[in-house]
Chains A and B, each alone.
Chain A
């Protein structure tokens, strides 16, 4: 069974989000397997989140200001 090709823009966005999230989890699993321990995994996750989450927040703030 093939998923329909022609989908609404909102559905396409959801698909792309799902794909990216799945890819992210796969990368996370690889890190889990490769890292020396769960402590390292948590540390790397925290570092990454501390960079990316504020990046999103700043970007969102700037966008709202432009409107």
Chain B
């Protein structure tokens, strides 16, 4: 008799139940992995940039890093939104006083009595004609920047209210005598980014401080200005025709010109720093001051922000102006009112705008042109990221 044996139990072919992750969760996970990967790679570049910045806070250093690594349009757009949200209101209560600048009125030297006749032989700029009345004490009146500088101060300072619609805005202006001073371009640690022999340490060289009378900020970084640079007689970044250019000559002379030499270095040029089109040329305001794209890949030209500019008067003396809440046009008007016949816009934003004068030789007792200037007056006596200009007494000139 055949026996029927029971079939062996079938092995279950069912796979263990795997809980399926919904698609949207997987997409989210993929995106997170992509973001963390991007962050990790970027951190390899960001961390050294931020920790290596000598005199910048982490926020400013991060923005600078973003700008110099392809993110300039992003940084500029965010800046524009920020400034639009913080646009100042017109009007407001009138000011009753202006910030004190300098070391006494330009003509009030202790040596004046003895050298009064000699003084007449020198050119002294006329006081700035105030825009708003009644005029405040000292408004538009030139003051000596240094102490005990004699009858012929190399640097003069003044302040005035520059815009009747915004009577609380105060502009600071400095005047530098071409007969007594020379101008030097000092590269910063990170700007210009091009490799430079003799870059220096990003500060006023200690051996030059004996003759130091003033320092002030340079122009936009080359990446945002799309302009050129000549340093020590050599082209470091392609020069662009038609762009406003601060030119320093062999021997310390200076000028502001509309560049017209192409990508060549004229024989007597020691340095040339370009930045945007001239804002004043031949005594007239640039007619395109309200035209946005012409003014660089940075905050809008009509955005009210800290701005600075450098002009030259009809006698060839330098004039620096800076103020908060300026448009390109209002800054140009400040310089024009102060007497500039040609002018260039320099750097903008509170982090970069600095004019510092020194009360005594050796870089001693530095002070900002305006008390609201954000950066320390010691800024250029220690290594700085950005390039800047230093104004020295000519060799042999007494303090």
Interface residues of chain A, those whose CB is within 8 Å of chain B, are: 5-6, 8-9, 12-13, 16-17, 20-21, 23-25, 27-29, 31-32, 35-49, 52-53, 55-56
Q: Does the CB pair B28–A42 fall under 8 Å?
A: no
Q: Does the CB pair A28–B37 fall under 8 Å?
A: yes
Bound state CA distance, A36 and B223, in angstroms? 13
CB distance from B63 to the nearest CB of A (A): 10
- B74 contact set on A, CB distance < 8 A: 39-40, 43
- B19 contact set on A, CB distance < 8 A: 9, 13
Per the CB 8 Å criterion, the residue count for chain B at the interface is 32
Instruction: Give which listed residue, A20, A44, A46, contacts B29 with CB less than 8 A.
Output: A20
Bound state CA distance, A42 and B45, in angstroms? 9
Task: Please list 8 pairs of residues, one from A and one from B, whose beta carbons are closer than 8 Å in the complex, sorted by A's number.
Answer: A6-B16, A24-B32, A27-B34, A41-B38, A43-B74, A46-B35, A48-B35, A56-B32
CB distance from A2 to the nearest CB of B (A): 16
Bound state CA distance, A34 and B131, in angstroms? 53
Q: Does the CB pair A45–B45 fall under 8 Å?
A: no
Bound state CA distance, A50 and B385, in angstroms? 30
Bound state CA distance, A55 and B66, in angstroms? 26
Q: Does the CB pair B66–A28 fall under 8 Å?
A: no
- Please judge, given known A-B contacts A16-B26, A39-B71, whether A45 and B33 are in contact too, CB under 8 Å: no
Q: Does the CB pair B33–A39 fall under 8 Å?
A: no
Q: Does the CB pair A16–B21 fall under 8 Å?
A: yes
CB distance from B55 to the nearest CB of A (A): 21
Q: Does the CB pair A49–B41 fall under 8 Å?
A: no
Q: Does the CB pair A20–B42 fall under 8 Å?
A: no
- A5 contact set on B, CB distance < 8 A: 15
Most buried by A among B17, B18, B26, B74: B18
* Contact pattern, B 38-80, Cβ under 8 Å of A = 1, otherwise 0: 1101110110000000000000000001111111001000000
Bound state CA distance, A52 and B31, in angstroms? 8
Bound state CA distance, A11 and B92, in angstroms? 70
B95 close to chain A: CB less than 8 A: no
Q: Does the CB pair B33–A42 fall under 8 Å?
A: no
CB distance from A22 to the nearest CB of B (A): 8
- Please judge, given known A-B contacts A28-B37, A39-B71, whether A52 and B32 are in contact too, CB under 8 Å: yes
CB distance from B336 to the nearest CB of A (A): 37
Instruction: Give which listed residue, A21, A28, A53, contacts B41 with CB less than 8 A.
Output: A28
Bound state CA distance, A41 and B35, in angstroms? 9
Most buried by B among A12, A28, A32, A56: A28
Q: Does the CB pair A38–B30 fall under 8 Å?
A: no
The A-contacting residues of B in range 167-195, CB under 8 angstroms, are none
Q: Does the CB pair B33–A38 fall under 8 Å?
A: no
